[in-house]
A and B are shown apart, each in its own frame.
Chain A
Amino acid sequence: MSLSKCSFNFVRKRILASPLSVYTNSSRKSGSSSLQANTKKPDWNRAVSEAEKIVGYPTSFLSLRWLLSDEIANVALQLRKLVGSNHPLLKTAKGLLYNGKNNMQAWGLIVLLVSKAAGHSPDIPEMEEDKSAGVLHSQRALAEVTEMIRTSHLVHKGLVNLQPPIKVDAPGDMISGNKIALLSGDYLLSNSCVELANLKNQELVELMSSAVRDLAEAEFVEPRDVQNAPLPAKPKAEARGYNQFVDSNMEPLVVSEALGNARAEWTLRHVLNAGSLLGKSCQGTLKLAGHSYELQQKGYLFGKHLALAWQACLDREPFTPGTVGSFSLISAPVLFTLQHNPEVYTLIEKGLDEIEKVDFEAVRKAVLDGPGLEMTKNLQKDHSKAALDVLNELRDCDARTALRNIIVAVQD
């Protein structure tokens, strides 16, 4: 039994579902893989766990097979030495198991649901199909690759910058923590290389490699503090239209023009950070299924918009009443607030060296006083709608309903 499942069960108990409208599919197929007919609005955890049933079992690569490999045993050994230290790798590791609505397993799940909802070309031999789940074996492998790439990126992001002359209190812990974080991330990345190569589809390899490139690029969008935490760019006076996302998604994105333009900057940062990987994975799975290029492109848009809707939703969380503490300075509410009132940027500037020096409560107040949250809500609506529009072009089936439920669950 996988760890992910445990964490889901654990979390589900804590959630009280709100009794509201329902999005379930009336034309269900078999008993085992059908959605529970219920009268409640799908909350996040139910949407996800029901969706998992549709595609068989959870996709998480954190499976027994993976945990039992020699390399991981080695990592675990090293990791244990870190317990008690304050290396952020431990936080990353915890986040891998459960991290609110952004949990890892959901990414592979989306890819599988898209696979099932779109079906596959009749030319593909029956042997390639996982009959019980209605997806191809190759698509399941791709879903695993998606999770590995994303996890690898998060693990690499969790390194501590020890570039001299930075002094750390416990350099021994930090150095070995970095070593393990770097190697574990590399291990996941190299595993995804091998898994992808096994699929024997070079266009797919190219596509997914470009997603890895985009993730790496995301970490260079300036400005950054000494620990490479991102800060918003100085807001520009006029926000111009911005449409660089129409061309081929194999090309790198132009960065400089978007900075300082709230919506463009937010989109750029998070397409690189998340949208590109989910979009390209959805595109890739349709490629494996033998669908047309047009449909593949729609798959890309679906994944991209879903990831952005997701991000907008996460961005709003720290601004719900009663929340304290730090939050992402490149979240949509902050960026919109800066655009609306450029004077707030003086608060941000204090943290250009270390974001801890930013007065987060002051920024939060500025956000709550301005139109930032409302604009973020609209932003999320736009992306949810764009994702649903793509979904509506697919045939009606349980997987499509599950995807719809997830989008709806993200919305509140």
Chain B
Amino acid sequence: MASIGSSRICARVHEKLCQWGHSQIVKKSTVRAKIGFYPSIRNFTDDTTKAQALKNAVAAAAAQTTTTSGCWHPCVRPEVPGTARTFATMRTQQPGSLPEYQVDPYALLEDDLRDVYGYIRNALRRNTFQDNLYEIATYYFDGHGKAIRPMVTILMARAINCHMYKENSGLIASQREVAMISEMIHTASLVHDDVIDQSDFRRGKPSVNVKWNHKKVTMAGDFILAVASMMIARLRNNEVTSVLSQVVSDLVQGEFMQLGSKETENERFAHYLQKTYRKTASLIANSVKSVAILAEGDEKITEISYQYGRNLGLAFQLVDDLLDFVSSAEAMGKPTAADLKLGLATAPVLFACEKYPELNPMIMRRFQEPGDVEKAFELVHKSRGLQQTQFLARQHCQEAVRLANLIDESPYQKGLIVAADYVLNRMK
């Protein structure tokens, strides 16, 4: 696959960027800990000596542990899309160019998103007469999810429609279907993940594998995927079917990659990034690509939307991995440090490894010895791993914003920019 090569290069570039950037982040974060440590990329001026950087890092870690347990950032998403209107700020943009407008994508798409879960439940209802299957299959379509995939998909659809057809452009029915399909594919994989990981909680309620027979849960996942595939087929578009079935394949292969790990640090990071692409970014990237195809966009615009989704998806997962270390269990709706407990080394650990090589053997044994999880958790907080992860996530968000700016201006195009900001600064 072509992305193997490119993501390796990416990894190297990002490592360079991170090495270059983190001393500034650290410095800033000590000063601005209360505001949240989001310095702008532009302030790469006053370099510090290595000793100074180290001192700062420790201070930053200390400052961070005291502030992060409470609240990092004022940007908290409402539980149900569109009920509250918290406005995101434009931290992904450069200082000085802070925009006048404020767009909340959830408010903007209130009408579009309101019915997504209802439509999905209907689609599942039409495909079975068995209530026990219907109950398990719809368990996570309760309207309490962040609906980030449908949100971004519809934003992109509307932004591209405006870009191509100006005023007289609504949402095409098939594009709305893609938004629903993306959430269904995501949920089918969640359901299977829950069985694999034996997790107890998701979205603040007992996960499916606690409530029902595992064989039934597995079959319910297959059922959701089958219904989603039928919906894809009914779009009667060869290219969209190809693109979306690639997503399914990526999801499974990403899960396989998660089983294995690589010996050397460089390989490990590339492996991690590729796994992240396959498990998270591919779905978002190919969903937004699909709506661009359905708008009959040319190669250029479909590539822009794909790359936007890819960058946004990578950032989304990086932030997710970060939140696993700093967020509280209540805010996430699932236990924290969950990745470590599952034996997974995510970006914060991989970054921390540079400073604390003693993490290497722990990564190789998947944190299975007693005390490994606690020790790794502590070392990650002591290192700059969290800031570096944040930095890498911001890189991807900025790239997403750059790509969104290539699309003609419209409220939805602005929404794409705000969505990138939301992904970076979300709390859960």
Contact = CB atoms under 8 A, between A and B. Distances in A.
Interface string B215-244: 110111011011101101111111001101
B127 interface: yes
A219 B229 CA distance: 19
A191 B237 contact: no
Given A186-B255, A213-B230, A219 B236 contact: no
A26 interface: no
A411 interface: no
Contacts of A252: 126-129
A152 B248 CA distance: 15
A28 interface: no
Given A178-B195, A182-B195, A256-B129, A162 B214 contact: yes
Contacts of A185: 218, 222
A29 interface: no
B245 A182 contact: no
A202 B225 contact: no
Contacts of A197: 238, 241-242, 244-246
A258 B315 CA distance: 51
A216 interface: yes
B382 interface: no
Interface in B290-330: none
B334 interface: no
A220 interface: yes
Contacts of B237: 202
A212 B211 CA distance: 24
Given A203-B233, A256-B129, A210 B214 contact: no
Contacts, number: 157
Nearest to B237: A202
Contacts of A227: 213, 215
A183 B218 contact: no
Contacts of B233: 202-203, 205-206, 209
Interface string B240-268: 01101110110111011001100000000
Nearest to B198: A175
Interface string A219-249: 1111010111000000000000000000000
A39 interface: no
B249 to A, nearest CB: 4
A205 B226 CA distance: 10
Contacts of A70: 256
Nearest to B250: A190
The 5 A-B pairs of least Cβ separation, nearest first, read A206-B233, A209-B229, A205-B233, A216-B223, A213-B226
A212 B223 CA distance: 7
Interface residues of B, number: 50
Interface in A65-87: 70-71, 74-75, 78
Contact of A183 (B196, B214, B236): B196
Interface string A349-366: 000000000000000000
Interface string B383-420: 00000000000000000000000000000000000000
Interface string A188-205: 011101101110101101
B228 to A, nearest CB: 8
B215 A157 contact: yes
A219 B230 contact: no
Contacts of A161: 213-215
B58 interface: no
A323 interface: no
A178 B252 contact: no
Contacts of B229: 193, 205-206, 209, 212
22 contacts: A70-B256, A71-B252, A71-B253, A78-B259, A160-B214, A161-B215, A163-B212, A183-B255, A186-B252, A186-B255, A190-B249, A190-B252, A193-B248, A194-B249, A202-B233, A203-B233, A206-B230, A216-B223, A220-B133, A222-B132, A252-B128, A253-B129
B418 to A, nearest CB: 33
Contacts of B227: 209, 213
B226 A183 contact: no
Nearest to B222: A216
Contacts of A200: 238, 241
Given A213-B226, A228-B215, 19 more contacts: A156-B215, A159-B215, A162-B198, A186-B192, A189-B222, A189-B252, A190-B253, A197-B244, A198-B242, A202-B236, A202-B237, A205-B229, A206-B233, A216-B220, A216-B222, A219-B215, A220-B130, A226-B213, A255-B130
Contacts of B232: 205
Contacts of B13: none
